[in-house]
Amino acid sequence: MENFLSEELKEILKREYSKGNIILNLGDITKVEVDAIVNAANETLLGGGGVDGAIHAAAGSELLEECKTLGGCRTGEAKITKGYNLPAKNVIHTVGPIYNTDKNVEKLLSDCYTNSLKLIVENNLNSIAFPGISTGVYGYPKEDAARIAIESVLSFLKNHKGDIKVIFVSFSERDFDIYKKIFEESMK
Ligand code: ADP
């Protein structure tokens, strides 16, 4: 069967995987059209490098203006703004734990996912895209972080009646493969 697929289709299939309400995607989160993309921000909410910098650059300066009114955000918590020039309608800013510095990193990372999903429910939204929170400069090991991300989201969705679509966006093939492996394991 594989031999009958065009090269282009094979590439697409490699980069997207879905089951139920969960989609694993390889790409740039600033391009994803959903009700809210999640920003792995820092406590100031005033922008930074990595995915934070990319989101602010794509959203435009109005995003920073709104962020200035929020008074920062504690690690594990989440705050919502509009998406401005992004294809996503909103941005949920959450602050992941710094792996080698913070205590209770597992709980704090899990809280980022749960508190982001709570904002989706509170604002009557239906779709959300997450990057690998804390897995860049904050140094959280990718496999452990992906496991916490997937378990936290699945457990939230299990206890929630509505229909929420969740996209995990990986920025590299390696990260995508990690998510896929852990997601498939969690389905067994
Ligand atoms: P943190 O400070 O929480 O570690 P980073 O932005 O440094 O945040 O990295 C978080 C994750 O986001 C990393 O896995 C990184 O590869 C990924 N990332 C960076 N830019 C993008 C992007 N444009 N879209 C999706 N993921 C991205």
Which residues line the pocket of ligand 1, CB cutoff 6 A? 28-30, 40, 50-52, 54, 96, 131-138, 169, 171, 175
pTM, rounded to two decimals:
0.94
Q: Is the dihedral of CA 149, 17, 162, 78 positive or negative?
A: positive
pLDDT at 154: 96
Single-letter code of the amino acid located at 162? G
Instruction: Inform me whether the pLDDT recorded for 3 exceeds 70.
Output: no
Q: Which of 51, 92, 138 to mutate to test the pocket of ligand 1 (most atoms within 8 A of CB)?
A: 51
Q: What angle do CA 178, 38, 55 make, to 5 degrees?
A: 105
pLDDT by residue (tens digit) across 130-185? 999 999 999 999 999 999 999 999 999 999 988 999 999 999 999 999 999 999 99
Residue 39 CA, ligand 1 centroid: distance in Å: 9
Burial class (CB in 10 A: 0-12, 13-18, 19+), 69: exposed
Mean pLDDT of 93-105: 98
